[in-house]
A and B are shown apart, each in its own frame.
Chain A
Amino acid sequence: DAKTTQPTSMDCAEGRAANLPCNHSTISGNEYVYWYRQIHSQGPQYIIHGLKNNETNEMASLIITEDRKSSTLILPHATLRDTAVYYCIAVAGNKLTFGGGTRVLVKP
């Protein structure tokens, strides 16, 4: 699976959109981009995934660049409960490797 690179941490304001970047420059054509988040020490929670096209669900939007070398997770209206570690993962096989993620702090 391709390695992903994310900022270590970022802050965002409550009520504003949070844009979380992820680089995956070595991603292969059959690798999906997944986003999970982990609130404190709870089990990671699935957010969204995509292959080529942009995706949107009730939690977030995923924007994948045309060359698929990077993506952005968008939380449209961040709330305090969105404070968590967000993981971007490239997945092709049956093994998922979680990196360090981005620690997101939503501030009032």
Chain B
Amino acid sequence: EAQVTQNPRYLITVTGKKLTVTCSQNMNHEYMSWYRQDPGLGLRQIYYSMNVEVTDKGDVPEGYKVSRKEKRNFPLILESPSPNQTSLYFCASSLLAGVYNSPLHFGNGTRLTVT
């Protein structure tokens, strides 16, 4: 089944403890992206990648890192998580790097709580 898989679904951690949220897609998509969703602020883009080894900042990149070493994987790294990074995170992918004519497929989300 074609899908975007995020892990874990739920994560509770403490301030400053490095964590990685994994994202994998099995559709050979070129484009991948991370979003966070907060009440009243909607979905905001963190980082995106147009292909292997090509990443770029979205609207809210501070405090996050990403890497795209393989086409299928796009992990989100929080080197030193803080409580303001408590949020619902979504990974998405699209067939084409030109995402304007290529729909996004979203994962089921990762709910992160930083205490």
Contacts and interface: CB of A to CB of B under 8 A. Distances in A.
Interface residues of B, number: 30
Query: Chain A interface: which size bin?
Result: 20 to 34
29 contacts: A31-B100, A41-B88, A42-B108, A42-B109, A43-B4, A43-B90, A43-B92, A43-B106, A43-B108, A43-B109, A44-B90, A45-B106, A49-B103, A51-B101, A91-B99, A92-B100, A93-B99, A93-B100, A94-B48, A94-B50, A94-B56, A94-B99, A95-B59, A96-B33, A97-B44, A97-B45, A97-B59, A98-B35, A98-B43
Contact of B109 (A34, A41, A94, A100): A41
A99 interface: yes
Contact of B104 (A46, A51, A92): A46
Contacts, number: 63
Contacts of A97: 44-45, 59
A32 interface: yes
Tell me if A's interface is mostly helix, strand, loop or mixed: loop
